[in-house]
Structure 1
Amino acid sequence: MRRLLPILSCLLALVAAAAMASEPPPRMLIFSKTAGFRHASIPAAVATLQQLAADEGLAADHTEDAADFTPANLARYRVVVFASTTGDVLDAVQQNAMEGFMRHGGGFLGIHAAADTEYDWPWYGQLVGAYFHSHPAGLQSTRITPEPKGAPWSIRDELYNYRSNPRGHVRVVATLDESLYQGGTMGKDHPITWCHPFDGGRAWYTGLGHDPAVYTDANFLSMLRRGLRYVAGRSNDC
């Protein structure tokens, strides 16, 4: 019997490994429907998110069909991304499905114009953290300062102002320096990326991502990767 124990242990390990290998990878849904302005950077955002997902062992689906927002379909996903969505993109039934997704521990990741979306859905405004207010004309350069510590880095992008400062309701991940460009309206404390637990799930948002070139910026990609890991429940560091 003692001779059989090592053999049985090996067999059980092989069975467990085979079961794990047969399990489908967790999934991420990238949603980029627009009902207002459409960003030329959406293809770059989708491709970048798909690559980050693959690096993290997630399967990524891309859709612009709001009909995919049903409880049964969203239950297949660990993360839902709003990639520069604009305007009113979900109806009331679809909104309820998204709320249920978060309440069951889902993760939300918003990029750039995700803050320019669903102004008449208060729950969504709390989820994303702050609504878009305005932006200066064109692309401008500024300095991004990570919080609570980290080396500042420079970026050139369209720089959003928000209707309110989310600090106090979210954990600010990075701020930008209004003194280095024209048209900022938020003053010395201008959050541009943040995260927070929300309604049973996790949410992360960045206002960067207007310019397709941003998706080749190593600092931005590193920040986006941390955000993805946070909302997927793989890290508490966002």
Structure 2
Amino acid sequence: MDLFSGTTFKRAVAAAVALPLAGGATLVAAGPAAADEEDYKILVVGKTLGFRHSHIDDTTRALIDLGEDNGFTVDVWDPPNDSAGWWGSGSPGQPDLTMDSTPFTSAEDLSQYATLVFVSPVDNTNSLNPATPRLLDDTELAALQGYVHGGGGFVGLHAATDTMHTVPWYGELTGGGARFASHPQQQTATMRVESPAHPSTAHLPAVWERFDEWYNYTTNPRADVHVLLTLDESTYSPGNNAMGEDHPISWCQNFEGGRSWYEGAGHTDASWTDPLFLEHVLKGVEWTAGVVEGGGNCVTFPEVDAVVAGLNTSAVGDGVIAGAIASLLGSARTAAEAGDPATAVQVLGGARSLVDHLSAAAGDRDLLASKIDDLVDWQTGLVDDGPALDLAAEAELRTMGGKQYLAVRVLNEDDAAVDITVTTPYGSKEFAAVAPTKNAYQAFATRLVEVPAGEVTVTATAVLDGETVTEEVAVAYAGTA
């Protein structure tokens, strides 16, 4: 039974973590689609000219369902065709859902979509024979390029890296030129979250075990993309073309004016009923559509370096400042790559402060500032603040015997005993070694008829992993005055 009807304040992480940046739920302008539209539209591309993945139909239905619950509608391009080969007699497509003709007519026509989702649209161009029909012909490809350059979103799922092998630009769009190379038999493997503050990973466990078909890629895209998840090859048998200790499996990037997000898992039909996986993909869709922000927005150090390199440094002062910013960015990158995000954040703060000293003639200072802010957000999400206490605290005014009391309860949800001090405007109370699942409860007499709103301070101390951890939270309560 709840003691109070008041709001519970949950304390699960150390105070230095910037929690509002991790949720990634801030509404922003949505890609080429009208930013002020409450609902938006996406395009699902399942057209197949080569081997057809069974999950295409499941993915399409899952995205339609997600759209109904999250404010977007779905058009589908997945026509049947007779592209016969070793994989079968052709593609059945999704005739009950598909559009009558290609939507890739022009960038203007594609701009009705906030993002495009390529769902394993294999086209059998692996041989690199330029005569092999591609998923998109030259006209359709030009429409896609214009759409991306105009700010459009792109989501690649699973075998989106196994199509249009004869178009290098498409490989850069999906991410760093990484193309499908091979996969071992389907098996259970462990993924590790590398960017925990991004909207598409904020809800995931740091170590995520799944059964799927795990791709090896022709190249490691890390130099060009923001890696979201990596595969731990020690947890499964990667087979031929194993990528080693650094095996990205999901990534994103800001690409030539648009946004691109890729997830290499999702081959199994069961993926498309898995709530964790569906939320992961949903946030990828929403991020590329410009509906959510956060976690660094898939920024990379080279991306910010390019902004600095594009500054007009003809003025001596601007040249000196730009050089200093570039140097600090280099130092921050070195710290980040060494696994020291706290130092990276400090150094980036120095670079950010210099941006305000550039002259207006230097270029887009707001863009550079926002990109450095994104780097800070990304690296802040990686800072390990050490052990943290898990507590729930409530405070509420109650009437007992005709008198006003301030009732405070602190629940220890941690695994260790916690010393708790409760400080109020009407007195304080110390509780020693409150055991896990137990409460520290005290009612403080106010001696007032009408009580103003206020705050209670809860200080908690415990020994976690041999380290003494102290945390302090403020819990507000409503008054009667």
1:141 to 167, 170, 188: 188
Tell me the alpha carbon deviations over residues 34-73 of structure 1, each in whole angstroms, 9 at most, x when there is no partner: 1111001111111111122233211111112572211142
- In structure 2, runs of 5+ residues without a counterpart are 1-33, 80-100, 124-133, 197-204, 298-481
Counterpart amino acid of residue 132 in structure 1: F
> What is the CA-CA distance between 1:128 and the residue it aligns to?
0.3
> What is the CA-CA distance between 1:24 and the residue it aligns to?
7.7
Tell me the alpha carbon deviations over residues 75-120 of structure 1, each in whole angstroms, 9 at most, x when there is no partner: 2111111001102211011000000110111000010000001001
Does residue 120 of structure 1 match 2:170? no
Counterpart amino acid of residue 104 in structure 2: F
Tell me the alpha carbon deviations over residues 127-181 of structure 1, each in whole angstroms, 9 at most, x when there is no partner: 00121111013x1100111113452111101100000111121111111111111
The DSSP-based 3-state class of the residue aligned with 1:179 is: helix
1:229 to 283, 286, 293: 286
Does residue 131 of structure 1 match 2:179? yes
Structure 2 equivalent of residue 70 of structure 1 = 105
Tell me the alpha carbon deviations over residues 207-230 of structure 1, each in whole angstroms, 9 at most, x when there is no partner: 011110111222211211221111
Counterpart amino acid of residue 127 in structure 1: L
Q: Comparing both chains, which one has the higher relative contact order based on Cα–Cα distances under 8 Å and sequence gaps of 6 or more?
A: 1
Does residue 186 of structure 1 match 2:243? yes
Retained in 2: the 8 A contact 1:153–1:219? no
- In structure 1, runs of 5+ residues without a counterpart are 1-19
- Kindly report which structure 2 residues correspond to 1:36-185, keeping only aligned pairs within 5 A, or say none: 36-65=50-79, 67-71=102-106, 72-87=108-123, 88-129=134-175, 130-137=178-185, 139-149=186-196, 150-184=205-239, 185=242
Structure 1 equivalent of residue 257 of structure 2 = 200
TM-score (normalised: structure 2): 0.43
Retained in 2: the 8 A contact 1:54–1:60? no
Counterpart amino acid of residue 166 in structure 2: D
Give me the whole-angstrom Cα distance separating, in 1, the residues matched to 2:155 and 2:67: 12
Give me the whole-angstrom Cα distance separating, in 2, the residues matched to 1:82 and 1:144: 22
Give me the whole-angstrom Cα distance separating, in 2, the residues matched to 1:155 and 1:116: 22
In terms of fraction of residues, the more helix-rich structure is 1
Retained in 1: the 8 A contact 2:153–2:258? yes
Deviating more after overlay: 65-74 vs 120-129: 65-74
Change in Cα spacing, 1:230 to 1:23, as seen in structure 2 (3 Å) is closer
Identical columns (%)? 42
TM-score (normalised: structure 1): 0.86
Give me the whole-angstrom Cα distance separating, in 1, the residues matched to 2:189 and 2:140: 37
Deviating more after overlay: 185-194 vs 228-237: 228-237
